[in-house]
Amino acid sequence: MKVLASGLRFPEGPIALDDGSVLVVEIEGGALTRVEADGTVSPVHCGGGPNGAALGPDGAVYVCNNGGLAFKTEDGIRFPYWMAEGNEGGYIQRVDLSMGSVEVVFTQVEGTPIGNLNDIVFDESGACYIVDTTRGVLYYADPVAGTIGIAEEGLEYPNGMGLSPDGTKLYASETYSGRVLAWDVKAPGILSGKTELYSTGGEYHWDGLAVDGAGNVCASNLEKSGITVISPAGDVLREFVTPERDPYVTNICFGGPDGDTAFICSAGRGILYSLQWPWPGLRLNFAH
């Protein structure tokens, strides 16, 4: 792995762009930050705690904001330990990178305030699935049309999420149960047939995930300081570990000239790594 940038303030939710730069959210920094190929960083201030992001069909970046977290440092690792003072819940933001403008799109669903949001992924239709970690819910939203509803509920601290290359499977990780779950996508926003793709039995915990071009679920493994690659059949294929141990390796995405460069967030150490991926990468819907 190569260090692309350091000194970031708990980076998560990477998005690889066609110009060679990578967007990350900085939870402690309260920003959506562009990391150039030479490591130069330029933030757009969002406030609160930006926790995940994805490009939408209108060219804007949609940010999952958890409302803000409190941080502390132990043994050189910076990490969140509780809600920040004044955190009144999560919300979805729309960021126009060309203008540097930020607006709040959603603060509640069906009359209930949104909890601490974590991850977001757009499908081909232009709508998106959103993870509400503290409420244990997956939302389905069309932020351009202004609609949002519940697609799945009753989950145990869901965290990362991704769609299969053909869009027929949705995957989500549960942090503390150690489960990676899978659903059939019957129609946009309609999930069925929930199964357990893989489980650690709670032995080690997950953070975010991404799906690569081979359909592998690439989950951030907190205890192992890296990424565990799980096949669509539920077999562990390989594990990648960061050069410096970090119990907060949180996210991965794919990009680069050939699409097979992985970008990995070592959030506790504030590092964004790049890595040549041995499988094809996966270009996300509306990424550019």
User: HSE-up of 153 (CA within 13 Å, CB side)?
Assistant: 5
Q: Is there a binding annotation on residue 96? A: no
String of DSSP letters for 259-274 = S-EEEEEEGGGTEEEE
69, part of any domain: yes
| Annotated catalytic residue, options 119, 132, 142, 207 | 207
- Which pLDDT does position 48 carry in this prediction? 97
- Here the CATH number for the domain that contains residue 195 is 2.120.10.30
String of DSSP letters for 40-81 = -EEEEE--S-EEEEEE-TTSPEEEEE-S-EEEEEETTEEEEE
C-alpha triplet 169, 229, 207: angle, nearest 5°: 80
Residue 287 has pLDDT above 90, yes or no: no
Count of structural domains, the chain: 1
- Which pLDDT does position 203 carry in this prediction? 94
282, part of any domain: no
Per-residue pLDDT band for 209 (boundaries 50, 70, 90) equals very high
Q: Is there a binding annotation on residue 142? A: no
pLDDT tens-digit profile of 3-43? Answer: 999 999 999 999 999 999 999 999 999 999 999 999 999 99
284, part of any domain: no
String of DSSP letters for 117-140 = EEEEEE-TTS-EEEEETTTTEEEE
pLDDT tens-digit profile of 266-284? Answer: 999 999 999 999 999 999 9
Contacts 24+ apart (CB under 8 A), 183-186: 183/152, 185/123
Rounded to an integer, the average pLDDT of 128-154 is 97
272, part of any domain: yes
Q: Which of 59, 39, 51 is nearest to 122 (CA)?
A: 59
Per-residue pLDDT band for 64 (boundaries 50, 70, 90) equals very high
Catalytic (active site) residue 207: yes
pTM over 0.95: yes
266, part of any domain: yes
C-alpha triplet 148, 151, 153: angle, nearest 5°: 115
Contact between 69 and 29 under an 8 Å Cβ cutoff? The reply is: no
pLDDT tens-digit profile of 142-163? Answer: 999 999 999 999 999 999 999 9
C-alpha triplet 284, 4, 218: angle, nearest 5°: 40
What integer best gives the mean pLDDT of the chain?
97
> For 218-255, what is the HEC assignment?
EEEECCCCEEEEECCCCCEEEEEECCCCCCCEEEEEEE
Question: Which amino acid, residue 229?
Answer: V
pLDDT tens-digit profile of 89-108? Answer: 999 999 999 999 999 999 99
76 burial type by CB count under 10 A (0-12 exposed, 13-18 middle, 19+ buried): exposed
- Which pLDDT does position 148 carry in this prediction? 98
281, part of any domain: no
Question: Which amino acid, residue 177?
Answer: S
285, part of any domain: no
Residue 288 has pLDDT above 90, yes or no: no
Contact between 130 and 115 under an 8 Å Cβ cutoff? The reply is: no
38, part of any domain: yes
279 burial type by CB count under 10 A (0-12 exposed, 13-18 middle, 19+ buried): middle
Taking the C-alpha atoms of residue 80 and residue 176, their distance in angstroms, rounded to an integer, is: 16
Question: Which amino acid, residue 249?
Answer: V
213: containing domain: 2-276
